[in-house]
Amino acid sequence: MSTGMLAEKTVLVTGASRGIGRATAEVLHREGAHIVLHYGNDKDSAQATADKLGDRVHLVQGNLRDPAERQRVWAEAAGWRDGIDVLVNNAGAWLASDIDDTEAWQQGWEANYELNLLAPADLCRDAILGFRKRGGGIIVNVTSRSAHRGDDAEHLAYGAAKGGLLALTKGIARGYAKENILAYAVAPGWVATDISAHISPDDPMLAGLPLGEVTPAGDVAEVITFLASGRSRHTTGATIDITGADYVR
């Protein structure tokens, strides 16, 4: 019998083979959860994470850009332990949408829409339908500070998609609270993941950060885990910014 604030809960974490997803899986597992660890292509990293955690882990592979794959991922995840208690929509990518190239612009918007908005939206729908049968559940969506302030000129579509995900989270919280379905968003800034791997310790950008460092993935994971625990139900609908005060509202 596992112990912790998420003991015996089953949590699906998408994009959990690296970065925020992997850190989140580790912290959730520490708190007693059974983890469905979704990954896209990096089977080795996913397996390494599962091996590190040991028991209470189930791997599910799937390309979330494919609607049929999304359905299969949810079905496999829910089938492991007869349902999901918490969905963490973490999978995503910082995809460019070059305004100077018509084809790249269109492809960028389509790719961002599919992966950063429609994929988590479909999984949210599956979660809501499943939660209704279980008497409730929790969704935590990983958005971005870009959802509030927009992104740079090369990533307009990314910021728009993350803004859409943020609005979706708020709508779910407002629309399904009476069914004990809670929804939260976390909005990180620069996080120590593959996206920020190019930043060196002496990068001038770091000097402009109030804490002088990129946010550790573990900081995001701790917040996600607390929200996933349901210990602050009336926080539903809220967005927690995790930027080290680099961006404050």
- How many structural domains comprise the chain? 1
8 A C-beta contact, residue 85 and residue 13: no
What pLDDT, on a 0 to 100 scale, did the predictor assign at position 190?
A: 87
Mind listing the pLDDT tens digit for each residue in 68-123? 999 999 999 999 999 999 999 999 999 999 999 999 999 999 999 999 999 999 99
1 domain-assigned: no
pLDDT value at position 212? Answer: 84
CB–CB of 186/224 below 8 Å?
Answer: yes
Q: Which of 58-62, 175-179, 209-213 has the lowest mean pLDDT?
A: 209-213
- pLDDT tens track for 176-205: 999 999 999 999 998 987 665 566 666 666
Specify if 3 maps to a domain. no
Tell whether 189 is covered by a domain: yes
Of the candidates 77, 72, 144, 70, which has an alpha carbon nearest to the alpha carbon of residue 114?
70
What's the pLDDT at 155?
Answer: 97
CA distances (Å), origin 64, targets 1, 92, 103, 132, 135 = 32, 9, 22, 23, 27
**Is residue 4 a part of any domain in this protein?**
no
Please indicate, yes or no, if residue 247 is contained in any of the structural domains: no
Residue 231 in this model has a pLDDT that exceeds 60: yes
Residue-wise pLDDT for 2-53, tens only, equals 789 999 999 999 999 999 999 999 999 999 999 999 999 999 999 999 999 9
Within a domain: residue 248? no
For residue 202, the model assigns a pLDDT of 63
Q: What is the mean pLDDT of residues 130-138?
A: 97
How far from 82 is each of 5, 25, 32, 74, CA to CA, in Å?
20, 19, 17, 12
Q: What is the mean pLDDT of residues 236-246?
A: 96
Whether 249 maps to a domain, the answer reads: no
The pLDDT score that the predictor gives to residue 201 is 61
CA distance 139 to 87: 5
pLDDT of residue 195: 61
Question: Nearest 5°: CA angle at 126, between 15 and 60?
Answer: 35
Q: What is the CATH number of the domain that holds 56?
A: 3.40.50.720
- Please give the pLDDT value at position 91: 97
Query: Residue 193 has what pLDDT?
Result: 77
Instruction: Look at 158 and 194; give whichever has higher pLDDT.
Output: 158
In a domain, residue 96? The reply is: yes
Domain containing residue 222: 10-242
Q: In Å, how far are 77, 214, 233, 235 from 226, measured between CA atoms?
A: 22, 21, 11, 11
